[in-house]
Chains A and B, each alone.
Chain A
């Protein structure tokens, strides 16, 4: 089942940290992974799935595309919506190609990020 938290996948520690801070500010707990492989390992090792994955594309070991391919092959994990963010100029194209739910370009505008997160991951009725 989906739980009310966000998974951040980015190889840059500062970016992971900044994202976690702002999401925390707005009521979204998060977990982070430095690359695709780490993210898969974590998803498979926890009982609850995140409501959203924020996915960077360019990472060592396993990049965003490879992660997305693996994720989509997995019936359960494939259900989790993905927001692609990248420093790449053509992030929209890349996002569409990966069948992502939304995309953002680095540097990320905070209001756009929050809007997308709220849409894809509605606050759970307490």
Chain B
């Protein structure tokens, strides 16, 4: 047990000082002192004779040792010692040392009257008279049991702390004296720096520094800084025993004792090489990412702060948006939106959505610096601090889809064109098919009169050959030749109708308008057709005004009537056909009604087309041009034609003509 300064024991020791004991004033002082000594209850203060027997006893002694003065005066001091100390003559040894050294102090176990032990601080001093004769000893004992317990716990705690420090392997923890000489060394220090305690304790801590640092007195400056501000920390390179260097985090703390006296430094060093490597890797990877993002030219990738102001800018952003980084950083990102979107507060709304849902994506128009609009795909992502979770801003990725959109539109347009081409092709194919069918029908129609014509001529020829120059039956031959001429006339009609189509198609269906009478024309045609009607078993009836004058093309109106009546007799054979005329004042109306096969409503428009017919060709002959030519004639008069019919219920064709074809046509032309 090491000795300690006696602190509180100084007062009684001084009080029992013998130097002033002989003087009268000293006698008075001695009285006062006696009162003081007697009253001191925390200290046992008593005197021994030169052999160690107790000669005085104060209240404190009673308190500390448990004996009354009457019980103990005259007893030997050794009775306060434990058995083992008594037998070893410790009490005598104390007296001897006090005598020899003028003072003796120790801490140790003492025994009370009741046998209980206590930890005592004891100060023993000899007393001599003026001649130097030993009068005895003063002894002051203090019960340190409580303080001892506190000290023990402190010691244990210090020990634990020491073990802790010793055991720490990840940190070099060691102490320097005020000059920087190493005075302690833990295992972490051993591991990190490579020195064993015996190798390093007593050396100056600058051995851990690089030559250059030593040359500029950096170690000393660190100590100075620590001393001035209590502690100093830095990261830097340090050197191991084997000369290798490592990146270290160093904290030096100035140590002061209870009185504020500087007693040295604590130094804690950590090897950051690994952490630094990780940090370097992270930095490099961040750098790579930054370079990557910066070099991406197809995407504008940039950051917005929480307010929506641009805080970073990549080359893609420059390419797409047209701004340089220095022009745009710090500006609000709404500059990328068309004015109407800004007015509608779209930018703010998009940020709100990104903030609330983490992400916002859309396609829409954005505006380049030069004002040009482009079609963009935009993704806004809220960015949060990975540690705190706090919103840091937004990452915005914008892609220019103009080209893609253009290509899509092109593709769509091409598809539409292809569709139209397809439709046109189908139309053209249908037109071709109809033309082919028409040619076939036309050939058929032409061959019919040709058949009759050929048979009649060949029969006349054969007959003439057989009978020679003398004509046997001239009337028969004349009859057949007249029949042949009738076929020629039929053929001429057919050719005329084919030419009509050609004229209509080329817009050359010319009209010769004159003052004429529809009533008279109709009556004439009806009479002409009566024989034909009779042949198919149909009756023809005509109603309406006898005279219905107007300014029209007479032959064309005849043609119109013949067409309508032929159709009526063809499709309504065996049933009556009714014709009626009506004076409309400024025009005329003609109705031709049959009771034949009828026309389905879906065919009402089609039948007026070229080469069209509602009924199958193989059942009904004809070019299929009648209604087409008829409508063309009616329209050339400024009139209209329509049909009212249902399948199986006959058909009524209605023609309305303006009174004067020229009026209607000129009005229409100027309209």
- Tell me the A residues contacting B by CB distance below 8 Å: 11-15, 17-19, 21-22, 25, 57-61, 63, 65, 87-89, 106-110
Contact = CB atoms under 8 A, between A and B. Distances in A.
A65 B619 CA distance: 11
Interface in B607-647: 617-621
A9 to B, nearest CB: 14
Contacts of B445: 87
Nearest to A113: B455
Contacts of A18: 451-452, 455-456, 459, 483
The 8 A-B residue pairs with the shortest CB-CB distance, nearest first, are A87-B447, A18-B455, A14-B452, A110-B458, A87-B444, A107-B450, A107-B454, A106-B447
A21 to B, nearest CB: 6
A12 B459 contact: no
Contact of B443 (A59, A63, A87, A108): A87
B444 A21 contact: no
Contacts of A110: 454-455, 458-459, 462
B587 interface: no
Contacts of A17: 452, 483
Main secondary structure of the interface of B (DSSP, over half): helix
Given A87-B447, A89-B440, A107-B451, A21 B456 contact: yes
B417 interface: no
Interface of B: 440, 443-445, 447-456, 458-459, 462-463, 480, 483, 486-487, 490, 535, 570, 573, 617-621
Contacts, number: 84
A22 B453 CA distance: 12
Chain A CB count within 10 A is highest, among B450, B451, B617, for B451
A69 B238 CA distance: 117
A14 B490 CA distance: 10
B486 A14 contact: yes
B619 A61 contact: yes
A25 B490 CA distance: 25
Main secondary structure of the interface of A (DSSP, over half): loop
Contacts of A21: 455-456, 459, 480
A63 B618 contact: yes
Given A22-B459, A25-B462, A110-B459, A60 B451 contact: no
B452 A15 contact: yes
A107 B617 contact: no
A18 B490 CA distance: 15
B258 to A, nearest CB: 132
A107 B447 contact: yes
A15 B451 contact: yes
A41 to B, nearest CB: 14
B471 to A, nearest CB: 15
9 contacts: A11-B621, A14-B483, A25-B462, A25-B463, A58-B444, A87-B444, A87-B447, A87-B451, A107-B455
Contacts of B447: 87, 106-107
